A and B are shown apart, each in its own frame.
Chain A
């Protein structure tokens, strides 16, 4: 099999672009900071204003790193789902993971007005929301895994995942109907997604979980390539279908679940990045694709975040809207130009 070596130049260029995007992302923001001050804060040198250094070290760098983790995590889980379900429309959230997280957060925020004031307001901090989102996606994941162990057909699993999603979305709607405007607004703000709320400690936890998920994906590389031939062929190649399917589902859930917990339900990236990547890396060999989507997803997310924070203005747009507004036309343009999508 053609190894990653053949794509060395493409990888080199991608890493270079990633570094450029990272620097651009850190240099731009609502407060204008000179480039010189940025570099000296990065190398821990003398900075003119102490507040600049604080902004860069405790706000912009964590936000940029979050963008990288979110972008690469979602992209890898999207790729895994597309291969597992042999469906180019699959994304990281097909198994209902994001709806599970939404349900958790919805219950935390809006449940207070429905079930009375059992939850105190202090619970609704960013950590509280992350915990609620994790719990919600974890519960849905458990349900999916139990079903997965009973269902032989992977396509049935896809439908079941979508059904779980529908149920949770419906419950969220009911909660929204009964809750007051303030709570509703708070929930909607969460659903816009946000990269900037993580402290260094939270970022550390997020990184560890992401590395775990990507590690599991790397362990599945060989099986993912077998799955390109379909399940029957994969089994005839000695692959333990149930076990590999479990590993792939768990890897996806860890990646997509942690992203949703820390940054909200971010749409589009997971679905689109694998397709965008295949425009450059014209192959379905996962040994090439997995590292490629990691880089690609990180770059795209950094670009989207740079645009979202609107340089030199006080406003920052919801990241969830930007990913789709920027990303969707790109995908449409690429597919129209190619006239044919090869999966």
Chain B
């Protein structure tokens, strides 16, 4: 009995290992440099970026201001061109995607304010279905189901018919996340989703992202300044410092002392025991 149980477990574990190996990378980045091209000259902001993301993972990008987090995310989202290296989404080079194809693989939550808030929450979330709707944007049954699912995942049922200008920053951020969910992509990229929020809502938003990644198997990549929260919640992290970008799981990154390299040490220092920064007294 016990033996057979063990055997079964063994088979199960094997099965999971195989499944893990078969899992493709949703996003694969090789030797990427990002930055700007000014009059034919490349202005590199970050280089030698390598990582690969699996389905269902929550990944945080951390680093000091100006180190290139947003530039990297904008490059991955094809908002600005890369300088060097390769980006693959679901095994296909990002350059080979047509805009509409990319829209069904990758959705965004940006830091920029939306110009018009005179639409209801559900109208805004429904815009996430634009890549799938016909020329005039009519929603079919499947679209409506996806919208309802996206609303339920983020618990927005009660705000559904509110106008966006009536919402708080935290609520609006949830709406934008829900819109990205309605777009039904395998990868969601968020640029600093927790800025302007209080500590409770910062944790709340990241918790929701964790839940979405776990429940839907979507890969979620976000940048953040909440290093301590990210360490607690992320499956993997990308630590960007001036000259080097390191990718790994939070525990090994702590062991390697990567977080200590983030900032100059004259003011704050990383405490490996608590996984947070402390002010030097």
Q: Which residues of A contact B (CB under 8 A)?
A: 1-2, 83, 86, 218-219, 221-222, 225-226, 228-230, 232-233, 235-240, 278, 282-285, 287, 342-343
Residue with the highest number of chain A CB atoms closer than 10 Å, among B107, B112, B127: B127
Alpha-carbon gap, A260 to B72, bound state (A): 47
Residue with the highest number of chain B CB atoms closer than 10 Å, among A1, A218, A235: A1
Q: Given known contacts A2-B122, A221-B136, A230-B114, what 19 new A-B pairs fall within 8 Å (CB)?
A: A218-B136, A222-B130, A222-B133, A222-B136, A225-B137, A228-B116, A229-B115, A229-B116, A229-B124, A233-B108, A236-B77, A236-B107, A237-B103, A237-B127, A238-B99, A238-B102, A238-B104, A239-B130, A283-B120
Alpha-carbon gap, A282 to B120, bound state (A): 10
Among A226, A235, A239, A282, the residue within 8 A (CB) of B118 is A282
Residue contact B114 to A221, C-beta cutoff 8 Å: no
List of B residues within 8 angstroms of A230 by Cβ: 110, 112-115
Alpha-carbon gap, A4 to B110, bound state (A): 30
Residue with the highest number of chain B CB atoms closer than 10 Å, among A225, A237, A278, A342: A237
CB of A240 to closest CB in B, whole Å:
6
Please tell me the number of chain B residues within 8 Å of chain A, measured between CB atoms: 37
List of B residues within 8 angstroms of A239 by Cβ: 99, 130
Alpha-carbon gap, A342 to B117, bound state (A): 8
CB of B230 to closest CB in A, whole Å:
24
Residue contact B114 to A233, C-beta cutoff 8 Å: yes
Among B79, B119, B136, the residue within 8 A (CB) of A232 is B79
Alpha-carbon gap, A83 to B114, bound state (A): 12
Residue contact A225 to B127, C-beta cutoff 8 Å: yes
List of B residues within 8 angstroms of A232 by Cβ: 79, 108, 110, 112
Residue contact A278 to B127, C-beta cutoff 8 Å: no
Residue contact B115 to A236, C-beta cutoff 8 Å: no
Q: A236-B77, A238-B100, A238-B130 are in contact. Are A285 and B123 (CB under 8 A)?
A: yes
Alpha-carbon gap, A229 to B115, bound state (A): 6
What are 15 pairs between A and B in contact, CB < 8 Å?
A1-B137, A83-B116, A228-B127, A229-B116, A230-B114, A233-B110, A236-B102, A237-B103, A237-B127, A237-B128, A284-B116, A284-B118, A285-B119, A285-B123, A287-B136
List of B residues within 8 angstroms of A229 by Cβ: 114-116, 124, 127
Please, which residue of chain B has its CB at the minimum distance from the CB of A2?
B123
Alpha-carbon gap, A228 to B123, bound state (A): 11
B126 at the interface (CB under 8 A from A): yes
Alpha-carbon gap, A225 to B65, bound state (A): 33
B135 at the interface (CB under 8 A from A): yes
CB of B23 to closest CB in A, whole Å:
25
Residue contact A228 to B137, C-beta cutoff 8 Å: no
Residue contact B115 to A86, C-beta cutoff 8 Å: yes
Alpha-carbon gap, A232 to B116, bound state (A): 14
Alpha-carbon gap, A226 to B120, bound state (A): 14
Alpha-carbon gap, A264 to B112, bound state (A): 40
Alpha-carbon gap, A236 to B120, bound state (A): 20
Sort A-B residue pairs by CB-CB distance and give the 7 closest, nearest first: A238-B103, A238-B100, A86-B115, A222-B137, A238-B131, A1-B126, A237-B130
B33 at the interface (CB under 8 A from A): no
List of B residues within 8 angstroms of A285 by Cβ: 119, 123
Alpha-carbon gap, A218 to B120, bound state (A): 22
Residue contact A283 to B119, C-beta cutoff 8 Å: yes
Residue with the highest number of chain B CB atoms closer than 10 Å, among A219, A228, A342: A228
Please, which residue of chain B has its CB at the minimum distance from the CB of A87?
B115
Interface positions, chain B 81-118, Cβ under 8 Å from A, are: 99-104, 106-108, 110, 112-118
Alpha-carbon gap, A222 to B99, bound state (A): 15
Among B99, B104, B123, B165, the residue within 8 A (CB) of A342 is B165
